[in-house]
Copies of this chain bind each other. A is one copy, B any other.
Amino acid sequence: MRTTSAVGQTGGVGDAESAAEGRRTPQIRDVAAVAGVSHQTVSRVLNNSPKVRPATRQLVMEAMERLQYRPNRAARALGLGRANGITVVTSNTMLYGYASVLQGVEEAARVQGLTVGVRVVESESTEEVRATVEYLSDPSTGRVVVVAFDPAGAGVLRALPGGVPVVAATEAGGLAGVERPMIFLDEREAAADATRHLLGLGHVTVHHVAIPSEAPASARQSGWRDALLEAGAAVPEVVSAGWDARSAHEAGRRLAADPTVTAILCGNDDTALAVRRALYEAGRDVPGDVSIVGFDDVPGAAYWTPALTTVRMDFVALGRACVAALTGEAPPLDAPRLVVRESTASVTKP
């Protein structure tokens, strides 16, 4: 790729074009020569500067088209001091919430002509966090979106040096003690709605299987608790599960063993799947014997058997909002909403 620049050697427009049509990939100076302007004017056109006469802009655009010019992102990043792109830091790319945020970021970034990078932090270990922060400390990294739904993401957010332009997608309420722009879906009220929905069906109380959370009590959990207290219902002990199906299944088994359990609010849909399985194995029907509610509304939830009652979380919009916050003004997000389907029913027992 080491080549010689034609600048200063071209005698005129004709020469410039023939040189540009050679093997070398054209650069702004070639475009400038063909259009009969300076390289700086070409740069201005590339950056949509308003200080270019329409006629000149047209000339430059035609030259770019003729030469099949493609801007070099690396050179731009170097000159600019930082890349014109967004790096998404996440602890996972496959789980529904995380993947959806990534999807939203990509959509929004692509529309604005920004590149998208992905960096996974596998755990909250000091070493992992340090390596990730080091990676992001390169000033040419550009803007960053940290998906801080869990300790790994939160750890990166806390350790990030001040100079890095960042927005975090967090759990509802944000992260305590972090002075960074944070955006989140507030499902607290929806969790309360779900709990009230179950109580309204005649359940004496509602149990909760919690998924990992950075805060001591997630919004899902506090919405649930408040609705129970408000209704004067007993607040059962929270059962905790991890992200994996196995631990959710184990949590489900514990609840299935207790005959007084008739309603369960699960931390997410994946958890609900495993809990439902555990209930099935214990011979308890859903929703005949036990009602369950999930969180997220994964694409297949409506096609479960029975179809899952859950809270719809628009993580894609969350991702888009993060990009908006990084490049301008973040729009307000719609609040998550309970979607009632078939996995919840009235208590049938005497």
Give Cα A183–Cα B116 distance, bound, in whole angstroms.
24
CB distance from A76 to the nearest CB of B (A): 8
Are B70's CB and A78's CB within 8 A? no
Complex Cα spacing A307 to B80, Å: 54
Please tell me if the beta carbons of B115 and A120 are within 8 angstroms of each other in the complex.
Answer: no
A41 to B324, CA, bound (A): 43
Give Cα A103 to B98, complex, Å: 12
CA distance A274 to B304 in the complex (A): 8
**With a CB–CB cut-off of 8 A, which chain B residues contact A137?**
70
Cβ–Cβ contact B81 & A78, under 8 A:
no
Highest count of chain B CB atoms <10 Å: which of A116, A134, A141: A116
Q: Which residues of B are found within 8 Å of A140, using beta-carbon distances?
A: 72-75
Q: Counting CB contacts under 8 A, is A249 at the interface?
A: yes
Contact B245 A274 (CB under 8 A): no
Mask: chain A, 255-274; 1 = CB below 8 Å from B; 0 = not: 00000000000000010011
Min Cβ gap A343→B in Å is 12
Asked whether A117 is an interface residue with its Cβ less than 8 Å from the other chain, the reply is yes
Nearest B residue to A1 via CB reads B81
* Separation of A303 and B70 alpha carbons in the complex (Å): 50
Which positions 98-115 of chain A face chain B at CB distance < 8 Å? Answer: 99-100, 102-103, 106-107, 110, 115
Contact A25 B70 (CB under 8 A): no
- Residues on B with beta carbons closer than 8 Å to the beta carbon of A117: 85, 115-118
Known: A74-B83, A100-B94. A25 touches B139 (CB 8 A): yes
Q: How many of chain A's residues have a CB under 8 angstroms from any CB in B?
A: 56
State the number of copies, please: 2
B245 touches A300 (CB 8 A): yes
Which chain B residues border A99 with CB–CB below 8 Å? Answer: 93-94, 99
Which residues of the partner chain B approach A270 to less than 8 Å between Cβ atoms? 299-300
Tell me which residues across on chain B come within 8 A of A107, comparing CB atoms: 120
Are the C-beta atoms of B73 and A138 separated by less than 8 Å? yes
Given contact pairs A25-B139, A75-B78, A139-B25, A276 touches B300 in the complex (Cβ within 8 A): no
Asked if A82 is at the interface of the complex by the 8 Å CB criterion, the answer is yes
User: For the complex, what is the distance from the CA of A106 to the CA of B115, rounded to whole Å?
Assistant: 16
Contacts of A201 in B (CB 8 A): none
Chain B residues lying within 8 Å of A47, measured Cβ to Cβ, are: none
Cβ contact within 8 Å between A273 and B304? yes
When the two chains form their complex, are residues B303 and A249 in contact, meaning their CB atoms are under 8 A apart? yes
Supply 16 further A-B pairs (C-beta < 8 A) apart from A1-B139, A73-B141, A277-B304: A70-B138, A70-B139, A72-B140, A73-B138, A74-B77, A92-B103, A99-B99, A106-B120, A115-B117, A116-B117, A116-B118, A245-B300, A273-B300, A273-B303, A277-B303, A305-B305
